[in-house]
Structure 1
Amino acid sequence: MKLKFPLIAAFVAILSLTACGGGGGDSGADVVNPNNPATLVKTDNALGTGAEATAGKHVAVSYILWLYSASAADHKGTRLENGSFSFDLGAPGVIDGFQQGVTGMKVGGKRTVEVPSNLAYGARGGNGIPPNNGLVFEISLTCAGTSAQCKLP
């Protein structure tokens, strides 16, 4: 009967160690970057009434690009550029987050899109964008149709 208490104590000790996950470092966990949104966020500022931007259509857009900043009220950090261009929606050559942000817009619409780094330039960064930094775009859709219809001036 003398072994009963030490046996119970050993069992409780083992059980409590397994419940805490075994300790150790957190080396496998993702580092949270405050300048990177967790997911793609699309906010319509003005709904368009024209043709819809869908995969396979040629679209023309105007945009303003900022680095994402968690500390800014609107998440718009440093302004990087603005411009206009056209492209085939769904074709390679334009970052995935931008393409996903444009998809579903209607001509005449304006949208703010917060793009996480994994849908932009990722860990490598590039074009003035630091590694693992998200982006914020303000996008205006000016055309959705064929390349002949969506020529830029």
Structure 2
Amino acid sequence: MTSKPEVDFIEGPAPTDLQISDIVEGDGAEAVPGGVVDVHYVGVDFETGEQFDASWDRGQSARFPLPHLIGAWQEGIPGMKVGGRRQIVAPPELAYGAAGGGHRLSGKTLVFVIDLLDVG
């Protein structure tokens, strides 16, 4: 992927469980539970469609050990292959917790579009 994705607004009520869909299937190495991933991503608020974060805007991908990330990423990235683009819709309990949890995104359902650049 060479450009920042547009995240389509999703009509209807927010899902109560994790939603994972591949936009582009990669053909490289596969992300594994507990592994390290190098990603580009865009995150938007499900309710408003407003972006709250994007590695693209910083001009630099993000490299993380999966166990250090929110539950939605820990569950939603493994199985993805390098070169792929995946959308993950994360209910609050798999994102930043229930409302009042102390994070500015607590209580919100979040939508991420993630490009897997590398693993390991």
TM-score where L is the length of structure 2:
0.77
Deviating runs (4+, > 2 A) in structure 1?
Answer: 34-37
- 1:84-142 deviation digits (Å, cap 9, x = unpaired): 311223x2x2111122121110000000100010011112151x32x321100000000
* Letter of the structure 1 residue corresponding to residue 82 of structure 2: V
The answer for the alignment partner of 1:79 in structure 2 is: 51
Which has more radius of gyration? Answer: 1
Q: Which structure shows the higher helix fraction?
A: 1
Q: Which runs of 5+ in 2 are unaligned?
A: 1-11, 56-60
Alpha-carbon distance in structure 1 between the residues aligned to 2:69 and 2:37: 12
1:97 aligns with 2:72: yes
* Letter of the structure 1 residue corresponding to residue 110 of structure 2: L
The answer for the alignment partner of 1:46 in structure 2 is: 24
Cα-Cα RMSD: 1.8
- The share of aligned pairs that are identical, in percent, is 38
Q: Which has the higher contact order (CA 8 A, sep 6+)?
A: 2
Alpha-carbon distance in structure 1 between the residues aligned to 2:62 and 2:45: 20
Q: Count matched residues.
A: 102
TM-score where L is the length of structure 1:
0.61
Q: Which runs of 5+ in 1 are unaligned?
A: 1-33, 70-75, 146-153
Alpha-carbon distance in structure 2 between the residues aligned to 1:114 and 1:53: 18
